[in-house]
């Protein structure tokens, strides 16, 4: 059994801006898996990518280290490189422009500082099970907020793997094997 909590996150947007969704898969040390998703009717892909990471980290209450996988270079680079400068500059870029999505970056920063997070990048749509599941959850969130079920690769909505039932607020739980 791993001592590491492993997280996969993804965002989706049907039109940018447009209806969007976020999805996260959180695999806890004890083998428990939690699937989270949601969305907004008018948003951007970057906001959904950030929201997925925020919601996943806010769902973790243990002190175990976290390995978070994202297919968004925006999220990974922002939290590991750019955020220090933004904070130093009063949430302004090097060009002295306001940081886009500062509200979400501040929330992500707050969530991440309570944990030890190893931020990892993974190529999206490359067949990795955790990333594909997070993508399917994000797509579901986008569809439930007005997105088209035919937007994903020109095909219908792909349901997340497994037979778990949807809980309140889009939380899905699986017991590990």
Residues tagged in the binding site annotation: 10, 49, 71, 135
Identified catalytic residue from 31, 85, 125, 162:
125
CB 34 within 8 A of CB 96: no
Is 170 labeled as catalytic in the residue annotation? no
Give the HSE-up count for residue 56: Cα atoms under 13 Å, Cβ half-sphere: 33
Q: Cβ neighbours of residue 125 under 8 Å, at least 6 residues apart?
A: 71, 132, 135, 153
Q: Smallest Cα–Cα separation from 7: which of 158, 116, 109?
A: 116
Sign, Cα dihedral of 83, 28, 124, 138: negative
Residues making up the binding site for Mg(2+): 10, 49, 71, 135
> Could you confirm whether 135 is annotated as catalytic?
yes
Q: Is 125 a catalytic residue?
A: yes
109 is catalytic: no
Residue 144 falls in the annotated catalytic set: no
Given 33, 40, 49, 132, which residue is catalytic? 49
How far is it, in rounded angstroms, from Cα 101 to Cα 118? 22
- Catalytic residue ranges: 10-11, 49, 71, 125, 135
């Amino acid at each position: 059994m791993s001592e590491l909590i492993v997280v996969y996150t993804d965002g989706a947007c049907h039109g940018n801006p447009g209806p969007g969704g976020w999805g996260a898969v959180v695999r806890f040390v004890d083998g428990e898996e939690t699937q989270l998703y949601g969305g907004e009717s008018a948003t951007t892909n970057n906001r959904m990518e950030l929201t997925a990471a925020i919601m996943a980290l806010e769902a973790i209450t243990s002190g175990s280290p976290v390995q978070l996988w994202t297919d968004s270079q925006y999220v990974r680079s922002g939290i590991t490189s750019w955020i220090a400068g933004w904070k130093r500059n009063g949430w302004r870029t090097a060009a002295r422009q306001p940081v886009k999505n500062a509200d979400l970056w501040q929330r992500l920063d707050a969530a991440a500082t309570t944990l030890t997070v190893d931020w990892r990048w993974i190529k999206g749509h490359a067949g990795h099970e955790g990333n594909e599941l997070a993508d399917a959850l994000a797509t579901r969130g986008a569809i439930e907020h007005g997105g088209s079920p035919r937007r994903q690769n020109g095909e219908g909505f792909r349901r997340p793997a497994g037979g778990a039932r949807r809980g309140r607020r889009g939380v899905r739980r699986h017991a590990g094997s």
